[in-house]
A and B are shown apart, each in its own frame.
Chain A
Amino acid sequence: QHGRVKIKSTAQQEEEKRKEREKKLKAYVSARDGILKKRSAGEHDEEALQLTQQLLSSNPDFATLWNYRREVLLHLETLREKDEVQKLYESELHFIEACLKVNPKSYGCWHHRSWVNTRLPQPDWTRELGLCDRCLSLDERNFHCWDYRRVVVKESGVSVEQELQFTDHLIGSNFSNYSSWHYRSTLLPQLHPQPVPDSAPNAKYELAHNAFFTDPNDQSAWFYYRWLLGRAEREEMISCVYVSREGERVSVAFSKPVHVKGLMLVLDGQPQQVQWRSAHPRFRHSPVWVSFTSASPSSFTSSKCKRLCHVLGSAESWCRDSATDQELFRSELSVEKSSVLQAELQSCNQLLELEPQNKWCLLTIILLMRALDPLGHEKETLAHFQTLKEVDPMRSSYYSDLCSKFLIENTILKMEYAEVRVFSLSDKNLTILCHLDQLLFVTHINLSSNQLLRLPPQFAMLQCLEVLEADDNAIESLEGLYHLPKLEEVSLRNNRILFSKKSKCFIRNPFSGVRASA
C-alpha cells in the first residue's frame, strides 16, 4: 500500500455533506420566515429586495417571493426619479438572468421578466431578443422562452423575415423541433396572408422534403407539411335548401355546423316568422336546420348567406351546391393548385418507394390523392389504407373511420354524377357515418354488411329518407332514427340493437324487416 494517496472514506464524505445540507436548510428556513414576517408587516424597503434576492437566487421557483418583490418595486418606483427607476429595473433584469441560470424553466422568473419589461421606462428589446437566442440555443424546446420571445418580438417589432430566418437556423441544427416548425407556421401567413400563387412554388416545400426524406419517422415535419399544403378553411355558407310543400317544411344545410339566430325565411317576397330547430334536439350547433311553415310558397329566400330556391308547382324542391364542384371534400388539404399538388404527390410517391412502410408518407399520399382526384385514386387509396392498418395496428380504428369517411364522400360524388336520390354503400367495412348533411334529399339508403355500431344522432338530417337498409352491421343504438318524417321502411336484420324505453315505437323482429310507423 505504499505510495498511495490517502482518501477520505465515503462515510466521512457523506457525513460532511449531510452536515452541510443541514446547515443550508436551517439558513434557508430562517431567511424565509424573516421575509414572510417582513411582508406581513408591510415593509417595502431595499432590505426586502436583498433578502428575497438571496433566497430566489438559490430557489427561483418561490412565487410568493416574486410577488413580494413586485410590491416592493412598485413602492420604490414611486419614490425615485425616472433615471433611478430605469436602473432599478435594469438590475432586476440582471438578477433574473442569474436566476434563469439556476432554472431556465422557472415560471416565476419568466413571468417576472415580462412584468419588469412593462415597468421599464426604456426597455431594451434587442438585449431581450439576444437572451432568447441564447436560451433557445441551449434548449430549443424551452416553451417558456418561446412564449417570452413572442412577447419580445411583438413589442419590439422584429420583422417576420428575421424570425423566419431564425427558425431556419434552429431547424438547420436540429429539425426534430416542433416548436420551430410551429413558429414558422404562424409566421408564414403573416408574411403571405394569401397563398402566393407562383413565387417559386417548390421552394417552401423544400425544407419539409429535406426533413422527411432525411428522417421520415419524424412527425414534426409531416405536420408542418400538411399545414403548408392545406391551410384553407371552408367559408360559412348555405349549401342546400330543401322545400317540402306537403310536409310544410323548409330544411337548410350549412357548410359547417352553426347555431342559427336571425336566419330569415322569405316566402314569395314575404318575410316569415318561423321557428328553426336543429335536426336533432341534442345539437345546439348543427349544419342542418328545419322550419315549419303553413304557407304554400313558390319561392324561398333565406337571408344571412342568401339563397334563392324556386318551387315550381312540384311537391318538393331543393337547390344545392354541387359536391362535384370539387371544393366540397377537398378543403382539408389544398389551397394549392393541382399542378403543385401533383408535384408533391410525386415526391411522396418517391419516398414511398424507398419506405413502403412509412405511415406518415402513406397518410399524406392518401390526402394528396383525395385533393387531386378522389374517385380516380379510389383503388390506390383503399390499398394504402390496408397497408396503414397493417403497419400501424395501434391506430387501425382511426384509419377505418377515415377510410369510411372517404368512401362516403366518394359515394356522394358518384350519386351526384348519376343524379339520383339513392345512396348505396353496402359491404365496404364502414365503421362510421359522416357527411350526412349532404344527404338531405336522399330517399333510399343501403348500408348493409358494414361494421357500423350505431345510427348516430346526425342521421336525423336525412329529412327525405323513406327506406333504410342496414342489415348485417353491429348497430347497437338507433338514436338517429329520431323524427325522420318520411321514413317508411327500415330493415335492421342481424344487428345488436339494445332496446331502451326510448325506442319502443319500433316493433322488433330479428328475422324480418322492421316497419316503422310515423
Chain B
Amino acid sequence: MAAETLPSQFDVVILGTGLTESVIAAACSRVGQNVLHLDRRNYYAGNWASFTFNALLSWIEEYKNQQEVQITESEQVWRSLIDEGEDVVPLSSVDSSISNLEVFCYASEEEEKEEETKAPLTSCQPVNAETVSEETTGDSTEAQDTVTGDDTTASDAKTQNEEHKVSEPKEEQHTSDISEPSQSQEEKDSQPISSPEDPPVDVEKKITYQKLVKEGRRFNIDLVSKLMYSRGALVDLLIKSNVSRYAEFKNIGRILTCRNGKVEQVPCSRADVFASKQLTVVEKRMLMKFLTFCLDFEQHPEEYQDYTEKPFREFLKNKKLTENLQDFVLHSIAMVTQQTLTEEGLKATQHFLRCLGRYGNTPFLFPLYGLGEIPQCFCRMCAVFGGIYCLRHSVQCLVVDKASNKVKAVIDTRGQKISCSHFVVEDSYIRDEQRQSTAYRQISRAVLITDRSVLPSESDQQISLVTIPPLEPSAPAVRMVELCSSSMTCMPGTYLVHLTCSSSGTAQEDLAPVVSELFHVSTIPGEEPSEGAEERSKPAVLWVMYFNMRDTSALDSSSYSLPSNVHVCTGPDGSLGSDCSIKLAESVFHHILPDEEFCPPAPNPEDIIYDGDGPQAEGPGFEESANTEADKSQAEEEGAAHEKSPSTESSDPAEMDSVTQQAPSDTTPSSEE
C-alpha cells in the first residue's frame, strides 16, 4: 500500500534526521503537532549516522560520485504551483558537508582459502577483495539476502541490521547469523570468536580485508564520534522523555592519555586515584585535593579570583600540581586547550566530576550499536505519536508568503505542495545564497579498524576514551575513542577507533601523525608487521578512513537570511558531548511552541486509553482548506497505523521498530518514479 501522495498539510515539516532535527520532531509530535519528517538520504541520522562496514563503503562510493557529477535541477516543475503573492526560496540538493575523504586499507587482501571452498558467498568475494570502488557489488549481494528486497543497498543493510539488533539486544552475535540464510554453519565454525565476551582464541589468525567485508554487518561505524556525559543534556532528555527505553548503553571503562609516546590510564575517580600505580602518594593527595575543590569551586572564589583573566594552565601551575597532574587535568579531565581561561577550565572539570559515578567509574556512556541509534530513537518516539517519515525524499523549495515573509508551504521532491506553519531544516540543505557568512569551522575525523587495544588490560572489552595532547604546540588536541566489539560497533577481534580534532588542514594532515604515533601502519597493504618487539607493541591498522566534516555549530539565526518560521539546525559540533545539539533543539521547540513542555515523559503504555478510532478521526486534525478527500483518508490511514503502535510497542520493541521502518519504505518508492 505505497502511499501515492502525502497529506498536504502539516503543522511542522522537518528536513534532515540528525540529532537536533529528530529531537525537535519527537518533541513536537509528543505534544500533538502533525509532523512530517524527511531526509534526502536513504538512511536515518544524516551526518550522525552509523553504517555497517558495507554500507559505509557505499557511502564512500556515493561521496566520490557526488564529487564528479554536479546535479543540475529543473526548476520548472514547481513553477506552476506558485501563486501570486508567494515567493520561492530554493534549497540545496547537494550535501557538501563532507570533504577530503581518503580511504586506505592495510589488511591483507588475499583470499581465505579454507573458507572459499565452503562458504556460499564465494562468488562475490574475490570482487570484494579487489578494490574499494567495487565494494558496492558485494553490498548488493548482501542486500539480496534481506527480506524486503528493495534496490537500495545501504538502507537495506541498515534495516537488516536494525532488525537483528532489536531481536537480540545484547546476545552473543553468532545467534544473529541464524536469521541470515546465506550464512552457513561452516562459516560459524570457521569464525574463531563466537561471542563478544570471549577473548579471541586464535590470536595468530590474521584478519583479512575479505573478512572485514564478510563480517561487515557487525560494524556500526559512526560518522560523528561523541560520548554521552552521564549528567549531560542528552542523558537527561533521554530519561525525561522515556526515549531511553529504545536504546541500550555501555559504560566507558577507562580514560587514557598519551604522554611521551606512551599510553597510560588517567586516574579520574576516587577509586582510580586510590589504585593508580603511577602516582606517588603525594600526587594522589594533590590531585584529590584539587578535584574536590573543583566540585564546588564557586564556593571558594578566593582560590581562583586572581586567575579569572589568565589561562587555566597557569592556575594549575599555581596550585602546585606536578607536570604530570597538570597534563591529566588539562587534557583528560577538563579537556580544554592551553589557552582556555581559568573559569571555563574549572567549569569543565566540575562537569566531568559531577558525571562520575552516576553509571560507573567514568563520566561517559556510549549507545550500543553506535551513536546513530540516538537520533533514530527520537524518530521512533515521533512516529509513535503520529509523525510521518519519508527517506530519500527532500524539499526542493520553500513557498514564502510575501506579505508576512513567512513560509506557508514547501514543495517536495515529488513536486507536491505541502503547507506547514513551521519548517525545520538541517544546515546542509541551505544554499549559500541564504547565508550571511560561509565561514565555518571543520572537524577532522579518522576512523580506524585495528587488531587490538592501544592499552591491553585484564578485560579486552572496554571502551576507552583517549585524549592526546597536541604533538606540537601548534597542532590541535586529538580525541580518540576506542570501541570494543561488545559495544556492537565492530566484529570480534577488532577495535573500532575514532579520532576527532578541530581542523587546521585536511583530516589526513591533522590526524595521520597521531595514527602513526599510536599504531603500526604498514607500508605495504597486508604486510606482516615486523616482529620487532617495539613495533609489535602497537596495534596494527587494518583499515582507515579520513574525512573532514563541516562544523556549523557556531552559526545562529543571524547567520541566515531566511523567513522567521524557518529554523535551521546546525550539524554536529566538534565537542565530546551533544549538549549543544540538545540545547538548540529545545530552543527551536520553544520558538515553535512557546507554551508547550519540551519532551514530557511518554505515558506508560498501560495508561493509554484506546477508543476504536484514532484521534485523527475525532478531532479537526487539519485546517481542511487544500485537502482533497483522498488525501484526508490517506492521512487517517497513516495516522491510525501510527496511533496504534503504542499498544504493540509496549510488549515487544521489535514491533515498534517495524512500525518506524515501515513509514519510509511505504512512501519512498513511489516518490522516485
| A-B interaction | yes
| A residues at B contact (CB < 8 Å) | 1-8, 13, 172-175, 209-211, 213-216, 347, 350-351, 354-355
Closest B residue, CB atoms, query A9: B607
- List of A residues within 8 angstroms of B386 by Cβ: 3
- A350 touches which of B33, B281, B607 (Cβ 8 Å): B281
- B607 touching A173, Cβ below 8 Å: no
Closest B residue, CB atoms, query A209: B281
Residue of A5, A8, A351 with most chain B CB atoms under a 10 A cut-off: A5
- List of B residues within 8 angstroms of A4 by Cβ: 31-32, 615
Q: Does B119 sit at the interface, judged by CB under 8 A?
A: no
| B residues at A contact (CB < 8 Å) | 31-34, 270-271, 273-275, 281-282, 284-286, 288-289, 385-386, 603, 607-609, 611, 615-616, 619-621, 643, 646
Q: Nearest-CB distance from A498 to chain B (Å)?
A: 50
- A174 touching B33, Cβ below 8 Å: no
- A1 touching B619, Cβ below 8 Å: yes
- List of B residues within 8 angstroms of A210 by Cβ: 274-275, 281, 284
- List of B residues within 8 angstroms of A351 by Cβ: 281, 285
Give the distance in Å from the alpha carbon of A342 to the alpha carbon of B282 in the complex: 18
Give the distance in Å from the alpha carbon of A174 to the alpha carbon of B361 in the complex: 11
- List of A residues within 8 angstroms of B31 by Cβ: 4
- B33 touching A355, Cβ below 8 Å: no
- List of A residues within 8 angstroms of B273 by Cβ: 214
Give the distance in Å from the alpha carbon of A351 to the alpha carbon of B284 in the complex: 10
What are 9 A-B pairs with beta-carbon distances under 8 A?
A2-B615, A3-B615, A6-B608, A6-B609, A7-B609, A174-B271, A211-B274, A213-B281, A355-B285
- List of B residues within 8 angstroms of A347 by Cβ: 281
- A2 touching B619, Cβ below 8 Å: yes
Give the distance in Å from the alpha carbon of A175 to the alpha carbon of B603 in the complex: 41
Give the distance in Å from the alpha carbon of A4 to the alpha carbon of B608 in the complex: 11
Residue of B286, B288, B620, B621 with most chain A CB atoms under a 10 A cut-off: B288
- A213 touching B282, Cβ below 8 Å: yes
Would A215 and B33 be within 8 Å (CB), given that A2-B620, A355-B285 are in contact? no
Give the distance in Å from the alpha carbon of A216 to the alpha carbon of B288 in the complex: 10
Closest B residue, CB atoms, query A171: B274
Give the distance in Å from the alpha carbon of A258 to the alpha carbon of B349 in the complex: 60
Q: Nearest-CB distance from B281 to chain A (Å)?
A: 4
Give the distance in Å from the alpha carbon of A173 to the alpha carbon of B616 in the complex: 55
Q: Nearest-CB distance from A6 to chain B (Å)?
A: 4
Q: Nearest-CB distance from B635 to chain A (Å)?
A: 11
Give the distance in Å from the alpha carbon of A172 to the alpha carbon of B621 in the complex: 60
Give the distance in Å from the alpha carbon of A355 to the alpha carbon of B292 in the complex: 13
- List of B residues within 8 angstroms of A7 by Cβ: 603, 607-609
Would A354 and B607 be within 8 Å (CB), given that A1-B619, A211-B274 are in contact? no
Would A1 and B32 be within 8 Å (CB), given that A7-B603, A175-B271, A355-B285 are in contact? yes
Residue of B271, B608, B643 with most chain A CB atoms under a 10 A cut-off: B271
Q: Nearest-CB distance from B109 to chain A (Å)?
A: 45
- B274 touching A3, Cβ below 8 Å: no
Would A350 and B274 be within 8 Å (CB), given that A6-B608, A8-B609, A215-B288 are in contact? no
- List of A residues within 8 angstroms of B289 by Cβ: 354-355
- B385 touching A214, Cβ below 8 Å: no
- B282 touching A350, Cβ below 8 Å: yes
Closest A residue, CB atoms, query B386: A3
Closest A residue, CB atoms, query B611: A6
Give the distance in Å from the alpha carbon of A249 to the alpha carbon of B603 in the complex: 91
Give the distance in Å from the alpha carbon of A360 to the alpha carbon of B104 in the complex: 59
- List of B residues within 8 angstroms of A13 by Cβ: 607
Q: Nearest-CB distance from B200 to chain A (Å)?
A: 25
- A354 touching B286, Cβ below 8 Å: yes
- A173 touching B619, Cβ below 8 Å: no
Give the distance in Å from the alpha carbon of A12 to the alpha carbon of B286 in the complex: 57
Q: A2-B616, A6-B608 are in contact. List 14 more A-B contacts (CB 8 A).
A: A1-B619, A2-B615, A2-B621, A3-B34, A3-B621, A5-B385, A6-B609, A6-B611, A7-B608, A172-B274, A213-B282, A214-B270, A215-B274, A354-B289
Report, nearest first, the 9 A-B pairs whose CB atoms are least far apart.
A2-B619, A213-B281, A3-B32, A6-B609, A4-B32, A213-B284, A214-B274, A7-B603, A8-B607
- B288 touches which of A174, A209, A214 (Cβ 8 Å): A214
- List of A residues within 8 angstroms of B643 by Cβ: 5
Give the distance in Å from the alpha carbon of A350 to the alpha carbon of B281 in the complex: 9
Residue of A2, A6, A211, A214 with most chain B CB atoms under a 10 A cut-off: A214
Give the distance in Å from the alpha carbon of A175 to the alpha carbon of B273 in the complex: 11
Closest B residue, CB atoms, query A4: B32
Would A3 and B33 be within 8 Å (CB), given that A210-B274, A214-B270, A214-B273 are in contact? yes
- List of B residues within 8 angstroms of A173 by Cβ: 271
- A215 touching B270, Cβ below 8 Å: yes
Q: Nearest-CB distance from B642 to chain A (Å)?
A: 10
Give the distance in Å from the alpha carbon of A172 to the alpha carbon of B34 in the complex: 53
Closest B residue, CB atoms, query A6: B609
Q: Nearest-CB distance from B583 to chain A (Å)?
A: 26
- List of A residues within 8 angstroms of B603 by Cβ: 5, 7
- B275 touching A172, Cβ below 8 Å: yes
Q: Nearest-CB distance from A169 to chain B (Å)?
A: 11
- A5 touching B646, Cβ below 8 Å: yes
- List of B residues within 8 angstroms of A214 by Cβ: 270, 273-274, 284-285, 288
Q: Nearest-CB distance from A462 to chain B (Å)?
A: 47
- B607 touching A2, Cβ below 8 Å: no
Q: Nearest-CB distance from A313 to chain B (Å)?
A: 62
